Amino acid sequence: MKVLLAEDSTFTRVGVVEILSSAGHEVDWVEDGTALEERCAPPASYDLVVTDVRMPPTHTDEGLRAALALQRLPEPIPVLVISAHIEVASATELLATAPGGVGYLLKDRVVDVAEFLAAVDRVAAGGVVVDPEVMRELLGARGVVRVVDRLTPRELEVLSLMAEGLTNAAIAARLVVTTAAVEKHIGNLFMKLDLPPDGDAHRRVAAVLAYLQSL
């Protein structure tokens, strides 16, 4: 996989490059949002962009604004945001409007290399990965999520775990229920969110994005 990393912290950049390279990925890197957008301009081709939020020149939300631009390209590039901060407004826009292949992880909560690489693979494949703390911040910023008012507490819990990128088996293990029970809950929430049967992978992404879009 060809990955572009946007990160101005030398220590973080070296560590992420090492992790991705050790997993067999080809990694390029830049240090600011402007260079990120320039490097991704057509005909450049990357399978995934991993970006921080706050980078030069203003150290505000350059990474997120660049991520939004990448998602608006004719052929959107999957983006995984890794940050020490939760920028609620920009994160909501990114996660709610992305056609898929998007994630938001907090740096200080990425403690397992295998889990990080799994998140990289999920986002590159078109999935959605959201750190639970990010999800809580987004929900707390806007209160009740209208689109999921019709879901039961268990269905809402399953949807939240789907947003973390967990498989059905992993959700079942987390909730200490059978995989069949999880599949039933997912089928029910798909119906309640009016998601047609266009393929389970597509509906999982659509369910998470619908969840975030109503914040």
Topology annotation, domain 2-139: Rossmann fold (3.40.50)
Is the CATH number 1.10.10.10 carried by domain 144-213?
yes
* E strand or H helix at 104: strand 102-106
What's the CA gap between 155 and 10, in Å, rounded? 42
Q: Tell me, what's the pLDDT at 210?
A: 65
Query: Taking residues 84-111, what's their average pLDDT?
Result: 78
Structure confidence by residue, pLDDT tens digits, 19-58: 999 999 999 999 988 888 888 887 778 999 999 988 888 8
pTM of the entire predicted model: 0.71
Domain ranges of the chain: 2-139, 144-213
Structure confidence by residue, pLDDT tens digits, 114-138: 889 999 998 998 888 888 777 767 6
Contact present, 132 and 156 (Cβ < 8 Å): no
Say whether pLDDT at 209 is over 50: yes
Q: Which phi and psi (to 5°) does residue 83 adopt?
A: -150, 160
Say whether pLDDT at 143 is over 50: no
Q: Tell me, what's the pLDDT at 91?
A: 74
Contacts for 99 with CB less than 8 Å, ≥ 6 apart: 71, 76
Q: Tell me, what's the pLDDT at 200?
A: 56
Q: Tell me, what's the pLDDT at 144?
A: 41
Contacts for 129 with CB less than 8 Å, ≥ 6 apart: 80, 102, 103, 104, 105, 119, 122, 123, 163, 164, 165
Query: Taking residues 181-209, what's their average pLDDT?
Result: 77
Say whether pLDDT at 201 is over 60: no
